[in-house]
Homo-oligomer: A and B are copies of this chain.
Amino acid sequence: MRTSVSSPSLSLLLLLLVGVLVTTLYFHQHPSSSNIPIQNLHSHHHGVHDSSSTVTHPLDPLTFRELAKVHSVLSAHYSPGPVPSVHSLSLHEPDKPLVLSFRHGVDPLPPRRASVVAFDSSSNRVHQLLVDLASAAVLRHDVDSRPSGYPRLTQEDLSRAMSTALGDEGFVAAVRSRGLDPADLVCGPLSSGWFGPEEAAGFRVVKIECYALGRGADRSPNFFMRPVEGLVALVNLDAGRVIRIVNRNREIPVDPGEDTDYRYSAQRSRPASHGLPVNPMSMEQAKGRSFKVEGGHTIRWAGWEVHIKPDARAGMVVSRARVVDPDTGEWRDVMYKGMVSELFVPYMDPTEGWYFKTYMDAGEYGMGMTAMPLVRLNDCPRGAYYMDAVFAGADGRPFVRPDVVCVFEKYDGDVTWRHSEALIQEIDIREARPKVTLVARTAASVGNYDYIVDWEFQTDGLMRIKVSLSGMLMVKGTVYRNTSQVPEQEDLYGTLLAENLIGVVHDHFVTFYLDMDVDGPGNSFVKMHMAKQKTSPGESPRKSYVRVTKDVAKTEGEAKIKLKLSDPSEFHVVNPSRRSKVGNPSGYKIVPSATAASLLDEDDPPQYRSAFTNNQIWVTPYNRSEEWAGGLLAYQSQGDDTLATWSDRDRPIENKDIVMWYTLGFHHIPCQEDYPIMPTVSSSFDLKPVNFFRRNPILGAAPYFEKDLPTCKPLASL
């Protein structure tokens, strides 16, 4: 590891090697392995790939060329002054009716437009612009001079915060006061949350914390495991100065740890594991893959057609999910748009260096901006199709991040349906059908944590949305080396993972935006409530049964759902105007799996800002300005523009174009197995057809026969 090079990073933890040159931080100007200027794209892309340079669908993201054009429009628009810092620049999606009516290959594309969010720190103004590509015109330019929140931090912001701290004599003195050499540290810019005007009023703040790289043989890229506990610099990002330095807990050592380096290249010296070796496996198809990609982003597979694209904030956006009806051949709408809307990660330690760690990863850092190229063969299986992201930097110029999304088919030996006649052996019914699905994946590395988000499509019409967590814990230094040393009344706020290291308890809440359009936009949200019904005396030998009652939510207030095992419902999004032959409304249901609810006080500032986690499910009427559950401007937001505040208007939602929101939660009490890198933990939820199809749509699926499967040989024998 070279220490002389810049290393901006972010999020739960965004990091900077000391000695940064701010000028190297514009990665679109200084491409590394992860960001590639357009002229190198073709040589880079071996194998399956699309460079996303043509637009064939109204929802296709802005291309490199289009982004460059927006940049020149902005330059001209602001000329002779400078363009404010660009925090978001992406396709302004055409209005929904235009997209819904668009016929591929028949209609011309709707006008291509860009949405821009920029910030002028000198005047503390947020600019929102709408740029028309064809006319090179700025159609709208709104300026908000008193924002209650700010846009996502840019790379420039992050590096500026870090260089401000490290250029501050007091901070450097504090580092040295702990016997540390700044050259051996990695420092990270942390979002500061919002805890009232004392810390920040009228400007943006970032907190800087540092980690030790270690020295000599102890040097490890897993600096996350070596916090300099209790040292925090509060930086006024806009003024470029340190406001406050906290330097507590100097008695806590920066422990060198053991074997924290997780890189494969560092494993050579490790003793062999005592188990049996596991031979590598691969999912193989004799006839090759069975999905088609049109225009880079439209995926067709089995009965599905879906548009998938990377997004700087959401990570990945899934649009226009449609299935073909196997009985009629009709293409039927299921979901107009689905994505991660926000991610709330509160840590459960109220002390000085920790209370503010209450991240909103999508709105503060960006799930796409932090999505690095997927590792071929390891993040995604052989044969996957990869999509590049084309994003804009703070100066408005485009860059390409390759392999941000992968798409692949999956078969794991599961069964999609089966039946054997247990004892009618003469009929000899032994029917089973293997299950093959299609997965679209992205993985964000928001500082220490890695979030893998999968959208999985099944042949039976089900969509499974899965979030997997890995990466490194955010750990806390401590004087204790054994739990026996901890006084009984003392709360560690976590688990002792190793000598001098605590894994602090925290939660993850991933809130999904799910614009369901079941057979079109006119949908209702129906609770199918299950409850004990006692029988009347003499009615039945049974004293009770479970009775299902149907409850159509009239307004948003009736669709705020807290899940309860003892008081369960199914939750259907139905199209009341489309009924099956026997009269059931066409629907999809949301099927939660393991999840967690936020336990914080609703008045606690982080919870108030992330009030979208107060319920597991919400339903709102479609409103194109309501996509980001924590507000468009989430950084230092004060909670006045969240899903909770929108929903408090209690608007009608019956037989309307509605959006469902679901929060997938995780409580995380760390354990030693999470050290020094965490085995993946996953949970998911399903969107599942319910009386949508006339009957099982995969009744006619074929079983496998030996002749269908590939013939494989070890390399040596071919």
Contact = CB atoms under 8 A, between A and B. Distances in A.
A286 interface: yes
A499 B290 contact: no
Contact of A541 (B507, B597, B605): B605
Task: Report, as a range, how many residues of chain A touch the other chain.
Answer: 35 or more
Contacts of A505: 530, 546, 548
Contacts of A355: 540-542
Interface string A21-42: 0000001000011110000000
Interface string A415-451: 1111111111111111111111001000111110010
Interface stretch (A123-131, A244-252, A671-679): A671-679
A547 to B, nearest CB: 7
A133 interface: no
Interface stretch (A61-69, A135-143, A345-353, A635-643): A345-353
A324 B375 contact: no
Nearest to A583: B483
A278 B459 contact: yes
A382 interface: yes
Contacts of A692: 672-673
A689 B35 CA distance: 39
Contact of A600 (B274, B532, B583): B532
A458 B682 CA distance: 14
A413 B133 CA distance: 40
A78 interface: no
A566 B562 contact: yes
A711 B712 contact: yes
A430 to B, nearest CB: 5
A434 B712 contact: no
Contacts of A452: 415, 418
Contacts of A414: 468, 680, 682
A15 B425 CA distance: 11
A270 B584 CA distance: 24
B534 A601 contact: yes
Given A286-B279, A542-B606, A696 B713 contact: no
Interface of chain A, main secondary structure: loop
A472 interface: yes
Contacts of A115: none
B570 A669 contact: yes
Contacts of A546: 348, 505, 507, 599-600, 667
A276 B541 CA distance: 51
27 contacts: A11-B422, A155-B423, A263-B431, A273-B303, A275-B302, A276-B290, A278-B436, A278-B459, A281-B409, A350-B545, A382-B709, A420-B445, A420-B450, A422-B444, A461-B673, A462-B679, A483-B582, A546-B667, A562-B565, A584-B672, A671-B690, A673-B697, A675-B696, A676-B695, A679-B696, A710-B714, A711-B713
Interface string A225-241: 00000000000000000
Contacts of A27: 423, 425
